[in-house]
Amino acid sequence: MVGTTATLHRSLCSNGSLYNCNVLEEKLDELRCLVGKTDGDPLRIVSVGAGAWGSVFAALLQDTYGQFREKVQIRIWRRPGKAVDRATAEHLFEVINSREDVLRRLIRRCAYLKYVEARLGDRTLFADEILKDGFCLNMIDTPLCPLKVVTNLQEAVWDADIVVNGLPSTETREVFEEIRNYWKERITMPIIISLSKGIEAALHPVPHIITPTQMINRATGVPIENILYLGGPNIASEIYHKEYANARICGAEKWRKALAKFLRQPHFIVWDNSDLVTHEVMGGLKNVYAIGAGMVAALTNESATSKSVYFAHCTSEMIFITHLLAEEPEKLAGPLLADTYVTLLKGRNAWYGQMLAKGELNRDMGDSITGKGMIQGVSAVGAFYELLSQSSLSVLHPDGSKPVAPAELCPLLKTLYKILITREKSTQDILQALRDETLNDPRDRIEIAQSHAFYRPSLLGQP
Residues forming the active site: 286
Residue 156 CB coordination number (10 Å): 23
98 exposure class (CB count in 10 Å sphere: 0-12, 13-18, 19+):
exposed
Give 86-111 as a DSSP string.
HHHHHHHHHHHHH-HHHHHHHHHTT-
Vertex 288: Cα angle to 284 and 289 (nearest 5): 125
Measured CA distances, 409 to 339, 394, 395, 397, 448 (Å): 23, 10, 9, 8, 10
Q: Which of 281, 304, 314, 298 is nearest to 414 (CA)?
A: 314
Torsion (CA) 427, 428, 433, 434 in degrees, nearest 10? 110
ω into residue 207 within 30 of 0, thus cis?
Answer: no
Vertex 215: Cα angle to 209 and 221 (nearest 5): 135
